Structure 1
């Protein structure tokens, strides 16, 4: 795709708003390496990194190229923050809550239990204090952040047995992607396992895992979880949305010309929007296929949701007591969320409830 057609596809207003010149002929050639935490098979998530690189190359007239590497090619899936810190790579694509072992604050960049929806997250990051607060935190890791796209509200995962009550969670060995919800689930008796998604199917098949969560129907179907765990629960209360992120080494970004910085800024917007729209388009059809293949779709009971909420609030309180910075970011997010919930009572919530009640 040439630069002219790409700009038309991405939306000329959005590209020009980011300050991108039609070409960058005077710039010296730049080569970056981007390490993803995800496999190539996930065309939604990994595809966002590919879209970013494609857009950068097109907008720069080939003067700026980004090579994209799947998890394990340059470094392990969970090694990308270390790679950015030591300058091994210029850029990464990841889920920030994978790194809560370094600091629990990382979770706010992606998802926290009973947190923001996709649109709320974008609003908080772009027009609230979210991006400013998170980039101030990430500066100590030599990282600047961008959205790489959002999955929307996720499913509650795949289980080898039914979860009829909170008691059924006790002793359950479950793969959880990372973040504060692992701590909340542990309070409910779940034995939390954090492992790359590529290792999960075999663990479920062998019975060394009892359950897993990942994203939603489209990605989960590709990974084949329905073949080894028949019960599919919703909603994923620990991920009202999950924002994947592009992490950029701050020194590498600072070394770019203003034109190339603007191209990076614009290309992330194109990639993030593409990912979100893919999930909205592909998930409904994938869910139909899964149910047609005898997946047993189940809703978490209110008792399970209430227990999850109580455990999550305990986790937040514990971290707030230990870290003023954690408390500042958490309280800012919750204040923003309260306003969003209030507005949505009079807008999308009521509209969606009505539309679900009628035949269209």
Structure 2
């Protein structure tokens, strides 16, 4: 009998060793509809499935699992394994990464946004911050700077922003307020009507949103290089789910991040930014290019917002000055300064 049991144990062990990895299925919570903002998530799911022979799959849900403002909460309780959210939705839940939403940091393009975001995501204090929600930062969703479309005469100086009614929320609203603007939090889907009804003079969006919400149809001019700031929207995974992956599946996930980001950048350039330039030409929208002197005036006028952020977050025990200095140093390096 003992010999039989020993033989059975050896056979069972052999089967376990020879058996393929267990199938893994993750639910991913995003919102809206499939668009440039979610293409890296779709690409990630595609790559992971390919690398694991279909053993590790992801179901990307557009609003079917959670509200966009509650995705971090869903991750914390394991309601789904992966999610996208934006830092500005709940600053108190992710204070460290809001450094990336401060105005006039100097980010010029999506590649720079990726570089500073992933650098900040790797900081131990930031990882500890998100770990409170059982969340591991996987990659960013790089958003262009929220430049303005406006009606009437182009505003080409800091002084011309005085009294300007602008659709801008959060930190961007504060930034325009600092130079005399009058921010309003008109919902995104009402921005076109607000411009048409002369409720606002300008609207701050990324290019794809100006297209989606048709504010470009009301525009006389566009601030091509103001680059006042943007939102930071990470992709996170539930820590327990991540650590529960087999080595093979975890490697498939980790190794697919850079390729997914590269795909996102290429798609955004070819399908949004190129289209944007064509539309500006077709509609005869004037491109406003601010001089270096004027841009410095904007930075000087809004520096107090960053200073206040550093003071408040430092009081919470966050290495705020270090995080801010890291972003500025990285951008200076990328700008060859």
Fold match by TM threshold 0.5: yes
Structure 2 residue 90 is the aligned partner of structure 1 residue 96? no
Instruction: Note the alpha carbon deviations across 1:33-65, whole angstroms, 9 max, x for none.
Output: 22225x326x32122222222222222222222
**Cα RMSD after superposing both structures:** 3.2
1:62-211 equivalences under 5 Å are 62-70=54-62, 72-100=63-91, 102-109=93-100, 112-117=103-108, 118-124=110-116, 131-133=122-124, 134-151=126-143, 154=145, 156-161=147-152, 162-176=154-168, 178=170, 180-193=171-184, 197-211=188-202
| CA apart distance, 1:289 | 2.6
Q: Measured at CA, do residues 148 and 130 of structure 1 come closer, stay the same or move farther in structure 2, by a change above 3 Å?
A: closer
Select 1:268's aligned residue among 241, 250, 257.
257
Q: Secondary structure at the match of 2:53?
A: coil
Unaligned runs of 5+ in 2: 1-17
User: In the alignment, what sits opposite 2:24?
Assistant: 30
Question: Are 2:316 and 1:327 equivalent residues in the alignment?
Answer: no
> Could you list the per-position Cα deviations for residues 293-350 of structure 1 after superposition, in whole angstroms to 9, with x for gaps in the alignment?
2223222455652332013321111122222322221122223333333xx36xxxxx
Q: Does residue 287 in structure 1 map to residue 280 in structure 2?
A: no
CA distance in 2 between counterparts of 1:155 and 1:204 reads 17
**1:226 corresponds to 2:216:** yes
Q: Out of 30, 33, 52, which is 1:40 matched to?
A: 33
Aligned residues, how many? 312
- Measured in 2, the distance between the counterparts of 1:203 and 1:34 equals 34
Shift of 1:232: 1.3
TM-score, normalising length: structure 2: 0.77
Which runs of 5 or more structure 1 residues have no equivalent in the other structure? Answer: 1-23, 346-360
Residues 192 and 218, structure 2, Cα contact 8 Å, conserved in 1: yes
Candidates 285, 308, 316, aligned match of 2:298: 308
TM-score of the aligned structures, taking structure 1 as reference length: 0.73
Displacement after TM superposition at 1:233 (Å) = 1.2
Contact 1:148 1:271 survives alignment (8 Å): no
Residue by residue over 1:185-244, the C-alpha shift from the partner in whole angstroms, topping out at 9 and shown as x without a partner, is 23223344557644543444444444322223x5533442211333211214224x8764
Equivalent-residue separation in structure 2 for 1:270 and 1:25 (angstroms): 30
SS of alignment partner, residue 213 of structure 1: strand
SS in structure 1 of the partner of residue 29 of structure 2: strand
Residues 91 and 109 from structure 1, CA distance in 2 versus in 1: closer, same or farther, beyond 3 angstroms?
A: farther
The counterpart of 1:339, out of the listed 305, 313, 333, is 333
